[in-house]
Amino acid sequence: MSRPAVLITAALLVALPQPDALARRPGRSGPSSPSSTEASVTALSTHPVLAPWTGPYGGVPPFDRIDADQLAPGLREAMAMYRAEIDAIAHARGKATFDNTIAALEDAGRALSRVMAVYGIYTSNLSSPAVQAVEAELEPELAGFFDAITQNDALFARVEDVYTRRDKAGLTPEQQRLVWLVYTRFVRQGAKLDADSKTRLSAINQELAGLYTQFSKHLLADEDTAITLAETDLAGLSASTRAAMATAATERGLDGQWVVVNTRSSVDPFLTESSRRDLRERVWRAFVNRGDNGGETDNNAIITRILALRAERAKLLGYPTHAHWRLEPSMAHTPERAMALMEAVWGPAVAKVHAEVADMQAIADARGDGITIAPWDYHFYQELVRKDRYDFDQNVLRPYLQLENLREGMFWMAGELYGLHFTAVTDVPVYHPDVRVWKVTDGDGALVGLWYFDPYARSGKRSGAWMNAYRDQERFHGEVTTIVSNNANFVKGAPGEPVLVSWDDAETLFHEFGHALHGLLSDVTYPTVAGTSVPRDYVEFPSQLHEHWLGTPEILSRFARHVETGEPLPQALIDKLHAASTFNQGFGTVEYLASALIDMKLHLAGDTPIDPDAFERDTLAALGMPDELVMRHRTPQFGHVFSGDGYSAGYYSYLWADTLTADAAEAFVEAGSMYDAATAKRLVDDVLSVGNTIDPADGFRAFRGRDVSIDALMRDRGLVPAE
């Protein structure tokens, strides 16, 4: 979904991409006191973006003193400072030790971290043409900068020296893990290559950085378009959907009209509710063809080049394909293991889609609609089937799902499970009026961190939902609390009107909040291993797990209250909601898995030239993709994969993590309550607090008492045949 985020400190050296749900996690900021190197430089700097964060809560980003014009000069000045720090470490006198090499790397790059945090916010949330121009200019430069550090022979020699003697150095387990991570990442980024290969690798990375920026720019441009409708085009739409469309029109200067913005949060409600089949097709085609319309915003040629460069890079690094390189440090370790999981689920999921389509076609025939179910019909008719089979219309939930109430529900959940308390604060600057901030404290009143919330769509903000960490928890030089944010794209209603969301959107809120909790509950020494800095196919486990608390009676009875009457969600509706919990899982699983399989197969193809549209079409046909739906993310708009290395050959990780999630949720069920204190404590101790200080498989095994089983996933998705 985004370009690779850059991790400051030791992880920064290898520019590892971060998880999509955390997309553009821009860097780490540590203690407010600067190092001697950055102090000498920032004293002369005129850019507030560089300065150590001051103010309450251990220091906060000075958004009130920062603007986009500071990004390029600030980044270049911070790079110079970091380069000087790296040079000092690489040429330090005496034998390399953990303290003067690995720990010194952890402490380097503080100023660059702060600038990268702000840079990531601007490029994700405030991406004006001026910001896009800065991004296009700087991304290749940043890629070359980080390659130069990774390929610094003197620096790597010291890292390797510490690594070879790590077992006899009296290090703590966390220090041992950190040494292994730093050394392994250096090697994986080409530290052992010969000079010519290093030069070529850096050229590849710089070209890729520019291509990722172009891809994102094209996608953002296509998503910023909208279809304008008249009042006669609104048949079937709910009042809340009409209001959101009217607000979106007003924001575009189209008072008295209605628009469907070309983003999922706007398109899905229209496809679900509109009784105008012609308009559903029009909206659907505009959405699925993002990045695939020819002209200036077409992404196909960019994708072809990205795939070729990734294949070449993998060969340089000694791997048969990009997929093999990407998966080596993951829980899956190999593409073959990831493919085995996806293939085990694909067949049952496709069979369930065929059954779902048959039910929809029967409804359409009974209504005399005279149609054959097509992709633009799926959302509409699945709701008719839901009503027919379960006497349940998801739209009746929306008046009970107020955004602000759900936020309070998330806070309550965090308090019950982890003893966290959220208090709104107004004494910190924000980068946009939509953003609000809460301080987070534990049961003793001690500060845990800050939580920023940016929930609304706007021009220049990328689509989707994600979590950022502006600053990670650490205690390297004393306690440093984290700053995290959740970002979404809900459409504002009229001024003063509550924002109502769908059940799927409510699940997304809890999902992203799960990422935030993973960051807030971190309890480690070194920032590189803090919070969500875990393998790609593990990071979605805590977030997906927290979706399970949305449907608990405790949350629904307290926080799902009717927008007009204040009455709680009726038990009869709750019963119908749970009865229908596995409804439409064929669609949800297949549209996701199609994207994951295409992603993996694209990156297993090696250096074969690829036409993205043809590859997508032919591969889906070979897989037996049902005609009635499309991939969740078609290739030309697959930002997870082509706006950065991010989820490249890694989109499978949602399914991998969901396997862990379903199994872990059953641990709470077995304990008798989703709020069982002992189980929640184990989750904190073995998963949420440990970051990347241990192997994730060991952490899950400690929590569950055994290795993960796929059985819970198949039950959770209703993919097990009825006995």
Cα torsion 674, 555, 544, 460 to 10°: value is -160
For residue 488, what is the DSSP state? E
3-state SS class at 354: helix
What whole-number distance in Å separates Cα of residue 216 and Cα of residue 114? 23
Strands, E, within 47-175: which ranges? none
Is 141 part of the annotated catalytic residue set? no
Secondary structure percentages of the chain, helix, strand, coil, to 5: 60, 5, 35
3-state SS class at 497: coil
| 257, two tokens | 């009209």
Residue 55, C-beta contacts closer than 8 angstroms, at least 6 positions apart: 62, 427, 428
Pairing label, strands 436-441, 421-425: antiparallel
**Gyration radius (Cα) of the chain, Å:** 25
Contact 569, 367 (CB under 8 A): no
Main-chain phi, psi angles of 258, to 5 degrees: -135, 140
Q: How far apart are the first and last CA of the chain?
A: 40
Main-chain phi, psi angles of 676, to 5 degrees: -60, 125
What whole-number distance in Å separates Cα of residue 664 and Cα of residue 668? 7
Main-chain phi, psi angles of 491, to 5 degrees: -90, 125
Secondary structure, 3-state, 79-94: HHHHHHHHHHHHCCCC
Which among 273, 512, 616, 628 is annotated as catalytic?
512
| 716, two tokens | 């959770």
Active site positions, annotated? 512
